[in-house]
Structure 1
Amino acid sequence: MRKIAGPIKIDGLIDEKAWQEAKPISGFYQNFPTDSLPAISETEVRMIFDDNFLYVSAVCYNQGQDYIVASLKRDYEFQTTESFNLYVDTYNDLTNGFTFGISPLGIQREGLFSERQNVSTDWDNKWYSEVTNYPDKWIVEMAIPFKTLRYNESNNQWNINFLRYDLKHNERSTWVRVPQQFRPNNILYSGKMVWEDLPPKPGANVSVIPYMSARGGKDFEEGESTDYAFEAGFDAKIGITAALNLDLTFNPDFSQVEVDEQVTNLDRFELFFPERRQFFLENSDLFALAGFPRARPFFSRRIGIAKDTAGNNVQTPILYGARLSGKLDQNWRIGLLNMQTKKDDDLDIIGQNYTVATVQRKISGGSNLSAIFVNRQSVNFKEEGEVSEISKYNRVWGLEYNFATSNNKWEGEIFYHRSENPGRDTENYAQGAFLGYNTRNLGLFWFHTLVGENYQADVGFVPRTGFARGLFNINPIIYPKDGHIVTIETEIGIAYTTDTDFEVLDKEFFANLEFNFANTSEIEVGVERNTVLLTDSFDPTNSDGPELQAGESYSWNRVGIEYESDQRKIFNYSVFSTVGGFFNGDLLEIGAELNYRYQPFGNFGMTLTYNNISLPDPFKDADFFLIGPRINFTFTDQLFLTTFIQFNEQNENLNINARFQWRFKPVSDLFIVYTDNYLPQNLDVKNRTLVLKLSYWLNI
């Protein structure tokens, strides 16, 4: 890649001499609907750089300008928007990196990828782009500041791939061919970006993001008067080196984060909701992906949550936080985090200090060895008078090994964790292993997880303890040649859950058959057989009714079907239904998701779910409706309105959340957030909040 001397004007024209002299990259291959043919929609990419920016241009040849673009909002949904995308592994570890994408209407999408292909678009940063449109093509011009990236200054090769998504032809194509059984952004399939010399030094990289917020709220159920509050604080991002970043936060406010999508919970255990707060996102794989989904030692959403004297979860203010993460050199990554929460004398909640330390060593290819330590420490803890659920400290430490072969055919993971908590000195372990085998026509996957009865991760996500679980999946894939059906996928699996003495508690068998069509529609049918031995008494309706007693065993069968329509259509939908047994009764579940796209200005959606539970006397029957209209309107590429209404009959709550956002400069926002909660029976107000927040990104 060639360095240039003169400036580049980012206008989407690529008429400068430097662009004309750059060697073009072309010859993209399909990843979908096939992976053996050249792309129908040709793409031509060029790359150059100077001391401050990495420049990327792309000529995306097209037939007409009838683009499919969901909205004008940043970080658009990939599946519903045509786009050109760059994936770059600056660490050269074939595991982590950055992605930058842009639609034909010039809307940006950036994110971080981890574990070779898992993308999070919650990460935001500054970069610049323009797009011009012509009858037969659209042209992209990007300028990515080196300050935005994290990289090893001594490495003159980066792994890179380009992805073009042409929805009209339902075609995904990449510069380096990616087998169809893998996601097109899998960085194990990438080319080399070779620098003439070492990459430029990014120079001083310090950003400060101060904020101010004003809040007014009232709790009508408690009969309290309106509470007003003014807050101010800041985040800061400091580049220690080109590959190591320090994040600081003081009195953070996360009110601009949209509410979680509610679900009907018919499970015996806690549900998982993802982290969206910006402070926790960069290099989040180092912290958040340790362990398995049923045994995570660190879950950042635990920070800022405590239990009051009644045992209810309540939010507690975070006073400050610091987070150092990134690469030390070609082989070593580290992560250090410390946060302090505020005490609340009225609720008898003491302050907590949270510390997480993790280190990762690259072994070879996409393989690595890592260690993690998590500590929650109560500040000024007193044995008498404290909330019983809160101990003086809780600690978890562990080791983990992840591997993947260079051809991505084999992948695996093994971990071992231990916890330390006062009075819990035995059965305080968690361990697991995973092995996967992927080929074009067959996938085989085996998992096991073992969690001791006294394993306790206060800052983690462990919905169940005292169990061992084994799961085996086989996934044959057929690629028909008739052109209408792209793939036929079968999934057959069996899972056993036992106690730690390996006495069987739960058994599950399932089989699914899925047809994926060339027009993007899908249909799936499935059957399952469940057997459950209850270890704790449980109300299957989760509505404070009579409980099934611990020690009783239940078995049932269930069948289901789901259909998803052509996602390219202005109006698209998905519907599903399951019917069968449920513990000692029957369950009927019907659901639908409807979407209308007012292209490109907005999306209007509706989620509908109905659950009918029929149980014998003396247990209660139950009917649960969950209705969620959602409006995403983008007036311009800077003005956005999101309104989310959720009626959850199970929780007896009607929630309204409206969020107006004005992005007046890159990564600088004005938010107005309105939240209302009602009793659905009579629409009496539970509580109401209005928040005004202003944040501004300053480069120093």
Structure 2
Amino acid sequence: MIKPILILLFVFFVNFLQAQERNDTNFPPPDVPVEIKATKTTNKIILDGRLDEPQWQNAEVITRFFKVEPVQGETIKNPTSVRILFDDKNLYIGIIAKDSLGKKGIRMQDLRRDFNRSENDVFGVQIDAQNTKQYAVSFQTTPFGNQLDLQSFNDRITDTNWNALWNVRTQRTDEGYSIEFAIPFKSIRYDKPVDGKPVSWGITFYRLARKDFEKTVFPAIPQSFSENRMTYAAKLTGLEVPPPSANIRVEPYALYQYDENKAGATVTDKLSEPKIGGDVKWVINPETVLDLTINTDFAQADVDRAVNNLERFNIFFPERRQFFLENSGIWAGSDNSQLKPFFSRTIGLDNSFNAQAAPLDFGARYTNRDEKRTIAAMAVRQRKTDESGGSTFGVARYTQNYGKENNFGVMLTSRLDDRFGTLSIDNSNNTTVTVDGLIRPQSEVTISYLLSTSIDSEIGGLGYSGRIFPGKRTNDY
């Protein structure tokens, strides 16, 4: 038994020495981030993916990409160059993505929005405009210009259902392909600029050349981590961002349903039902967003995939309803696949045995986040149905950031069900209090913890659930 263990230790030691020689070991974030500069343009940029405007030639060229896949630190086969411009409304990012086989080397599997990132040629930009080091929004595209956008929290929780307003155009060329991004400043949450103080954002780029499965990043990030690990981010300088305006988006809707059943010439049943409602998003300031919904219509949400559940655990379908999506990672805490103190998909389901869909009368969500802490709250009123009374949902969240990537959070959730459709002493109530946090004493080491206690008026007494996860991730193990 001792001999196989010694052999394994010897193999591990040899691999470690080889990793040192290959320069593919982990390395800590830089004390001073790499600086890159954006160039202001007063001329119009025509978004066509060609980068043929003179302004692009005056912008700083970023070429120092770092190879992380399949072997970290090797020579790059498919080089990439990036330029950054901006005007009064948009941030423009231009990319020349060369391929060792030219246009023939491009690989594509689908043209969907929110495509599969591992099966296509991809280029993406990640932005931490509030310099939190713990949060990023990512805008990604393929050589055919389809879009993917997501939010990342601590390089651990990723929300691909989040959508923003932005544009991109691409061109396939004899050398590979080129890209032009136009990202409106209104689609990015950033701190209000201070007079006399230059604005800087955290930013990373990554590219996947699928034919070689060659992943390259800028600036250098170890293979163990993704492009969303913003402690390694470059510092984007030279920006002159507009002061955040009163950004209000209103999405009303109106529906009318008319049904009539006849038996011969006699009308036996008739339904005439108008329905109006809508959503309002008010960006009060860069840190604060207020969302309102009235008589919500979720007809625009994607249908869930059919799943055969052969185990005793619940299936957590992803949230696809726009009202619940933005900043959804705020509620996640030390989330995992089987322990979720707050799961927004339970809102909109009645309290009957079959959990049928129930309409929402109104809802409000408030989020305030900066580089130090997050405060959030949400309240939703769910209408009664023929099978169940109405329900009132509430959730409140506070998170404090400390150190480079550590945080501590507290969350309170509550559901109040009206058994008979009116508020009375017969209401059932479930309340949960959760304490959670994330600790990264080193860039390779992650410790997450969660402790949740709840009380249900129908069951009585307290229930407890908890989880702690320590882990170390390197390029070798």
Please indicate the TM-score interval, normalised by the length of the shorter structure: 0.7 to 0.9
Q: In the alignment, which residue of structure 2 is the partner of 1:429?
A: 464
Q: Where do residues 26-105 of structure 1 align in structure 2 (5 Å cutoff)?
A: 26-62=63-99, 63-66=101-104, 67-105=106-144
Q: In the alignment, which residue of structure 2 is the partner of 1:141?
A: 180
Q: Where do residues 221-236 of structure 1 align in structure 2 (5 Å cutoff)?
A: 231-236=275-280
Structure 1 Cα separation of the partners of residues 146 and 449 of structure 2: 40
SS at structure 2 position matched to 1:7? coil
1:406/1:44 Cα in 2 relative to 1: closer, same or farther (>3 Å)?
farther
SS at structure 1 position matched to 2:103? coil
**Which letter does structure 2 place at the counterpart of 1:38?**
T
Structure 1 Cα separation of the partners of residues 281 and 368 of structure 2: 13
More deviation, 422-431/143-152: 422-431
Structure 1 Cα separation of the partners of residues 300 and 271 of structure 2: 19
Contact 1:28–1:38 (CA<8 Å) still a contact in 2? Answer: no
Structure 2 Cα separation of the partners of residues 228 and 81 of structure 1: 49
Query: 2:439 aligned to 387, 403, 406, which one?
Result: 403
Q: In the alignment, which residue of structure 2 is the partner of 1:642?
A: none
**Which letter does structure 2 place at the counterpart of 1:395?**
T
Structure 1 Cα separation of the partners of residues 273 and 168 of structure 2: 39
**Residue deviations 1:244-270 (CA, integer Å, cap 9, x gap):** 222221222223333322333221232
User: Is residue 2:375 matched to residue 1:337?
Assistant: no
Structure 2 Cα separation of the partners of residues 11 and 202 of structure 1: 28
Contact 2:81–2:95 (CA<8 Å) still a contact in 1? Answer: yes
**Residue deviations 1:350-401 (CA, integer Å, cap 9, x gap):** 22111111111111111111111111123533356xxxxxx43221122222
Which runs of 5 or more structure 2 residues have no equivalent in the other structure?
1-37, 261-267
1:81/1:230 Cα in 2 relative to 1: closer, same or farther (>3 Å)?
farther
Query: 2:402 aligned to 337, 348, 363, which one?
Result: 363
User: Is residue 2:311 matched to residue 1:254?
Assistant: no
Q: In the alignment, which residue of structure 1 is the partner of 2:449?
A: 414
Task: Give the Å deviation of 1:72.
Answer: 2.7
Contact 1:129–1:143 (CA<8 Å) still a contact in 2? Answer: yes
Contact 2:190–2:286 (CA<8 Å) still a contact in 1? Answer: yes
SS at structure 2 position matched to 1:65? helix
If asked which structure has higher relative contact order (CA below 8 Å, sep 6+), I would say: 2
SS at structure 2 position matched to 1:150? coil
Task: Give the Å deviation of 1:85.
Answer: 0.6
Task: Give the Å deviation of 1:303.
Answer: 0.4
Task: Give the Å deviation of 1:425.
Answer: 5.8
Task: Give the Å deviation of 1:418.
Answer: 2.3
Q: In the alignment, which residue of structure 1 is the partner of 2:49?
A: 12
Task: Give the Å deviation of 1:273.
Answer: 1.8
Q: In the alignment, which residue of structure 2 is the partner of 1:530?
A: none
Structure 2 Cα separation of the partners of residues 228 and 102 of structure 1: 45
Which runs of 5 or more structure 1 residues have no equivalent in the other structure?
219-223, 385-390, 443-700
Contact 2:434–2:452 (CA<8 Å) still a contact in 1? Answer: yes
Structure 2 Cα separation of the partners of residues 38 and 213 of structure 1: 59
Structure 1 Cα separation of the partners of residues 275 and 234 of structure 2: 48
Q: In the alignment, which residue of structure 2 is the partner of 1:202?
A: 244
More deviation, 206-215/329-338: 206-215
Q: In the alignment, which residue of structure 2 is the partner of 1:168?
A: 211
Percent same amino acid at aligned positions? 29
Q: Where do residues 619-658 of structure 1 align in structure 2 (5 Å cutoff)?
A: none
SS at structure 2 position matched to 1:14? coil
SS at structure 1 position matched to 2:56? helix
Q: In the alignment, which residue of structure 1 is the partner of 2:225?
A: 182
Task: Give the Å deviation of 1:342.
Answer: 0.8
More deviation, 141-150/14-23: 14-23
More deviation, 252-261/35-44: 252-261
Q: In the alignment, which residue of structure 1 is the partner of 2:9?
A: none
Aligned length, in residue pairs: 424
Structure 1 Cα separation of the partners of residues 86 and 320 of structure 2: 32
Q: Where do residues 116-131 of structure 1 align in structure 2 (5 Å cutoff)?
A: 116-131=155-170
Q: Where do residues 658-697 of structure 1 align in structure 2 (5 Å cutoff)?
A: none
**Which letter does structure 1 place at the counterpart of 2:206?**
L
Structure 1 Cα separation of the partners of residues 84 and 442 of structure 2: 27
Contact 2:251–2:279 (CA<8 Å) still a contact in 1? Answer: yes
Task: Give the Å deviation of 1:184.
Answer: 4.0
Task: Give the Å deviation of 1:109.
Answer: 1.7
Q: In the alignment, which residue of structure 1 is the partner of 2:7?
A: none
1:405/1:4 Cα in 2 relative to 1: closer, same or farther (>3 Å)?
farther
Q: Normalized per residue, which structure has more helix?
A: 2
Contact 2:430–2:455 (CA<8 Å) still a contact in 1? Answer: yes
Q: In the alignment, which residue of structure 2 is the partner of 1:667?
A: none
Structure 1 Cα separation of the partners of residues 383 and 239 of structure 2: 52
1:265/1:38 Cα in 2 relative to 1: closer, same or farther (>3 Å)?
same
Relative to the length of structure 1, the TM-score reads 0.57
Contact 2:401–2:407 (CA<8 Å) still a contact in 1? Answer: yes
**Which letter does structure 2 place at the counterpart of 1:392?**
S
1:434/1:136 Cα in 2 relative to 1: closer, same or farther (>3 Å)?
same
**Which letter does structure 2 place at the counterpart of 1:44?**
S
Structure 2 Cα separation of the partners of residues 166 and 195 of structure 1: 30
1:314/1:196 Cα in 2 relative to 1: closer, same or farther (>3 Å)?
closer
1:110/1:418 Cα in 2 relative to 1: closer, same or farther (>3 Å)?
same
Contact 1:116–1:188 (CA<8 Å) still a contact in 2? Answer: no
Relative to the length of structure 2, the TM-score reads 0.82
User: Is residue 2:353 matched to residue 1:317?
Assistant: no
Structure 2 Cα separation of the partners of residues 236 and 21 of structure 1: 41
Q: Where do residues 431-510 of structure 1 align in structure 2 (5 Å cutoff)?
A: 431-442=466-477
What is the alpha-carbon root mean square deviation over aligned residues? 2.6
Task: Give the Å deviation of 1:106.
Answer: 1.8
Structure 1 Cα separation of the partners of residues 336 and 172 of structure 2: 46
SS at structure 1 position matched to 2:158? strand
**Which letter does structure 2 place at the counterpart of 1:401?**
G
Task: Give the Å deviation of 1:142.
Answer: 1.2
Task: Give the Å deviation of 1:290.
Answer: 4.9
**Which letter does structure 1 place at the counterpart of 2:432?**
V
Q: In the alignment, which residue of structure 1 is the partner of 2:152?
A: 113
Task: Give the Å deviation of 1:6.
Answer: 3.1
Q: In the alignment, which residue of structure 2 is the partner of 1:193?
A: 236
**Which letter does structure 1 place at the counterpart of 2:453?**
R
**Which letter does structure 2 place at the counterpart of 1:64?**
G
**Which letter does structure 2 place at the counterpart of 1:393?**
N
**Which letter does structure 1 place at the counterpart of 2:375?**
I
Task: Give the Å deviation of 1:307.
Answer: 2.6
